Structure 1
Amino acid sequence: MNKKKLIIAGVIGAALSVAAAGGAAWAHHAFAAEFDGKAPVLLRGKVTRVEWINPHAWVHINNVNKDGTTTAWMVEGGTPNTLLRSGIDRNSLKAGTEIIVRGYQSKDKLCRPACKANGRDVTFPDGKKLFMGSSGTGAPADGADPGEKK
């Protein structure tokens, strides 16, 4: 490969790297882009599944409504690594575990295929409460995030 082609290949490779990094940064949104800080939710129900994916883990629960019916919710948590550091792992969030999640509903309020919320903290059957969000996202200063400036 001559020098000119090598330089062109390097420039193209660098451009693709920047585009890929920009796409990843764009995909990781701030709280206010999707969730409503004025729409708090308190969800109680059994975990149906957990998606341990980046950039955010998703906890699926069947919330038990006041009338006894259930509604499916997808609750966005922090990254899998963030959850692990706060003490939440695959064993603590198994399907069938009853939990309470405090968080904020999505701005669109659509519930298809499930209602969506950003989780701030999760309370387990033994009463242990752990932060399940991501710090520095712009979520309301609600006391859930131990990294919040007081």
Structure 2
Amino acid sequence: VAALGLLVAAVPVIAHHSFAAEFDANKPVKVTGTVTKVEWKNPHVYFYIDVKEDDGKVTNWGMEMGSPNGLMRQGWTRNSMKVGDVVSVEGSRARDGSAIGNARAVVLASTGQRLFAASSQTTTP
């Protein structure tokens, strides 16, 4: 029983990752697009945006932010960003070069409001 308890307690630690394992602070990214989905849940809030590339192709980017609690301390609410909103995102790109990023800041096009994303990044590029 004790071994099972230790195994269950270790699962969240294994499932969580470090910034450096997935993202490269030396690969800054800035994209603008339309929000297609927002997942407001622990341990991180994720959102997805359709970004129109220079060649006209649309790429759906996945963005990771901090925890819901961390975002609320930065002034966010569940309704700060909604599907259909146009946003500009600054952050760090995935190490593998895929369309995934760790957001540091989000600017809402409708209001110009800049919200910090309670990112897990501990250094700036």
- Which amino acid is the alignment partner of residue 141 of structure 1? T
Of 67, 76, 81, the match for 1:79: 67
Residue 122 of structure 1 aligns to a residue whose secondary structure is strand
2:43 corresponds to which residue?
55
Contact 1:106 1:116 in 2 (8 A): yes
Of 133, 136, 139, the match for 2:118: 133
Q: Is 2:102 the partner of 1:118?
A: yes
Q: Which has the higher helix share?
A: 1
Greater Rg by CA: 1
TM-score under structure 1 length normalisation: 0.74
Contact 2:25 2:121 in 1 (8 A): no
Q: Which has the higher strand share?
A: 2
Aligned length, in residue pairs? 124
In percent, how many aligned pairs have the same letter?
Answer: 41
Contact 1:47 1:61 in 2 (8 A): yes
CA RMSD of aligned residues (A): 1.7
1:98 corresponds to which residue?
86
**Structure 1: how far apart are the matches of 2:122 and 2:95?**
13
Contact 1:76 1:133 in 2 (8 A): no
Q: Is 2:30 the partner of 1:42?
A: yes
Contact 2:33 2:52 in 1 (8 A): yes
**Structure 1: how far apart are the matches of 2:37 and 2:5?**
34
**Structure 1: how far apart are the matches of 2:45 and 2:83?**
15
Gaps of 5+ in 1: 1-11, 143-150
Contact 1:37 1:139 in 2 (8 A): no
Aligned-pair distance for 1:26?
Answer: 2.1
Residue 23 of structure 1 aligns to a residue whose secondary structure is helix
Aligned-pair distance for 1:138?
Answer: 4.7
